[in-house]
Amino acid sequence: MTLRFGILTSSDRCSRGERPDLSGPALADFVNAQGWKVLHTAIVPDDLDALRETLSNWADSGEMDIILTTGGTGFAPRDVTPEATNLVLDRQAPGLAEAMRQESRKVTPHAMLSRAVTGMRGRVLIINLPGSPKAALENLQVVLSVLPHAVELLKEDPDAEKHH
């Protein structure tokens, strides 16, 4: 199954061109290396409305199966990616976020500071990832193996039950 992705970077500095986005391209390279497709990438400021609008537009477009966000999941006052994500989700998928935090905790105690959320809007899975390229890739690898099956279930693929 070829999964279709959108990758959304949330960063004030990257959106203003003060710093290059390293996480978005790292995630795109990793996704492409799996044989999947990245259809959309964007950088938006740490702004609730900009994040909410992009997430909802992308999810409602029907073009993507999974949207990865990177950045804005920490404790800083401008870290609002989880809040924006929660505003657009129809249903939560807490097991994915829990698994990422649990595995990240083995690498750094700072994993406990992650406020990342995961869930679904329609038939699209949205996954918040950390802003650092290393942490974003580590977290994505934690959930990587279940993504095809998750998408099969979301799309009500009749063969989804065969993969249990």
Which candidate, 145, 44, 135, 113, places its Cα nearest to that of 85? Answer: 44
Q: What is the CATH number of the domain that holds 51?
A: 3.40.980.10
Tokens representing residue 10 in the block:
């949330």
Q: Regarding predicted confidence, which is higher, 159 or 10?
A: 10
Q: How confident is the model at residue 117 (pLDDT cuts 50, 70, 90)?
A: very high
| Host domain of residue 50 | 4-163
**Number of domains comprising the chain:** 1
Q: What confidence tens digit (pLDDT) does each residue in 97-114 have? A: 999 999 999 999 999 999
Closest CA to 143 of 8, 18, 27, 26: 27
pTM, rounded to two decimals:
0.97
